[in-house]
């Protein structure tokens, strides 16, 4: 079973697809991303990463809602990542971008 | 090549791993989630989902940064999703949660 | 005592100015904005606004951190609002913008 | 004219109150907070604060939407800040909180 199938099975066992609309799913991804970010509030990256269990939980929540959004819209996760990397490749050619923080800041 | 490998290849071709710290990656996931959410600003879900190309781009950006965060911390995407679904299963038992918006609101 | 003075007095009684840097203050405004948004998750505006006490709390938290950011950088709240409204006035002239959702969507 | 009155005058000249519902206003506060946070992406606080014009603009946008939310719900800005500071005062007594990062992290 893929992760996508597991996420769908969790949702469908509860018949929760009826509550899912894409606006609230986008909103939910934002909320979970904030909970992930909160782990680093008033901390350095080094301090924040110590709380690895919380990071696992919140990062998983971001992914779970992202997968639910993809499923709602019949999007293939691997396909949209591939498509975006191709766009980024054109926008940030290796020769200009390598080791270049200025280009990176503009990402 | 898996999506994770493609994301890493993109990053490593530019030698950008040096700029990645988990605090700024968490921050970046939040920013991309906001850009996804912006597609639905002042719109219904139905209206927002028409802009499917923008949704593909922004959802992919959320996933790309989430994968980079996982890679930084040696986390396995499928493992943390599985782990979180098990936790949610305990928290929201099917018999109590099925068709239940009240439980869902509490997710 | 103005609200700004009250916020500063609260902070300074605890000697917390030492922990404040603008990156974490911006991050904190984002987190509080998310907590405000969470009140409306899976709800209509009409349903969400019933929870007026939670809205008061979270909206106040957004404002308190926004005031702290302004104080850190010696910005005058009324001045930056006035300055931004003048910019918006030029960008969205009344004759073009009145009753116009298209322009508004672009805000 | 107070800042609140100026924000209302800007909105009403365009007859934009009709588009305002509290869910999209909360969403908009989040989006503007993210734009403020973006100024600090991949930067230290010290580096980010150099871009003071962008900070003024984005912080003002957060405040403008926060004021619009307050106006929608007939909330008095100064009153909700005062109310929240009183709550925080009880939660973080000076004697326990002074110079205490641990308490602060818990804010």
Chain-chain contact of D36 with C57 (C-beta, under 8 angstroms): no
* Inter-chain touch A37–B26, beta carbons under 8 Å: yes
A76 touches chain B (CB under 8 A): no
Question: Chain C within 8 Å of D101 (Cβ-Cβ)?
Answer: yes
Q: State residue A102's pLDDT score.
A: 72
Residue B50 contacts A, CB cutoff 8 Å: no
* D43–C64 C-beta distance less than 8 A: no
A–D: how many Cβ contacts below 8 A?
Answer: 12
Interchain contact A28–C (C-beta under 8 A): yes
Kindly state the average pLDDT of the residues A26-44. Answer: 98
Q: What is the pLDDT of residue A83?
A: 98
CA distance A5 to chain B (A): 11
* C-alpha to C-alpha distance for C23 and B21, rounded to whole angstroms: 15
Query: Measured between CB atoms, which of D15, D87, D94 is closest to C14?
Result: D94
The rounded distance, in Å, linking the Cα atoms of A49 and B77 is: 17
Q: What is the least distance, in Å, from the CA of D30 to any CA of chain A? A: 9
pTM: 0.96
Site of tokens 């009826």: A18
Per-residue DSSP letters for B13-38? HTT-GGG--HHHHHHHHHHHHHHHHH
* ipTM value: 0.95
D46 contact A CB<8A: no
Q: Of A100-104, B34-38, C41-45, C52-56, give the lowest mean pLDDT range.
A: A100-104
User: What is the chain C residue with the closest CA to B102?
Assistant: C42
DSSP at B44: -
Q: What is the pLDDT of residue C101?
A: 75
Residue A30 contacts D, CB cutoff 8 Å: yes
Verify whether the Cβ–Cβ distance A31 to C42 is below 8 Å: no
**Residue for token digits 């150099």?**
D50
Higher pLDDT: C11 or B100? It is C11
- Tell the residue number behind the tokens 């850009």, with chain if given: B35
Query: What pLDDT was estimated at residue D107?
Result: 62
- Delineate the domains of chain A, giving CATH numbers in brackets: 1-75 (1.10.287.1080), 76-107 (no CATH)
C-beta atoms surrounding C98 within 10 Å: 13
How many percent of chain B have pLDDT more than 70?
Answer: 95
Tens digit of each residue's pLDDT, chain D (107 residues): 999 999 999 999 999 999 999 999 999 999 999 999 999 999 999 999 999 999 999 999 999 999 999 999 999 999 999 999 999 999 999 998 898 877 666 66
Asked if C76 is an interface residue toward chain A (Cβ–Cβ < 8 A), one would say no
- Between the CA atoms of B60, A44, B21 and A79, what dihedral angle is there, to the nearest 10 degrees? -10
* DSSP assignment string, A34-87: HHHHHTTTTS-HHHHTT-HHHHHHHHHHHHHHHHHHHHHTT--HHHHHHHHHHH
In whole angstroms, what is the distance from residue C75 CA to residue D51 CA? Answer: 13
> What pLDDT is recorded for position D102?
72
């Amino acid at each position: 079973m893929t992760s996508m199938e597991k996420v769908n099975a969790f949702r469908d066992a509860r018949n929760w697809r009826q509550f899912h609309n894409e606006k609230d799913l986008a909103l939910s991804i934002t909320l979970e991303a904030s909970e992930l970010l909160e782990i680093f509030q008033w901390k350095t990256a080094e301090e924040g990463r110590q709380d690895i269990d919380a990071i696992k939980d919140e990062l998983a929540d971001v992914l779970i809602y992202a997968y639910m959004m993809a499923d709602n819209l019949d999007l293939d996760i691997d396909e949209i990542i591939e498509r975006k990397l191709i766009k980024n490749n054109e926008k940030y050619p290796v020769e200009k971008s390598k080791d270049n923080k200025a280009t990176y800041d503009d990402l």
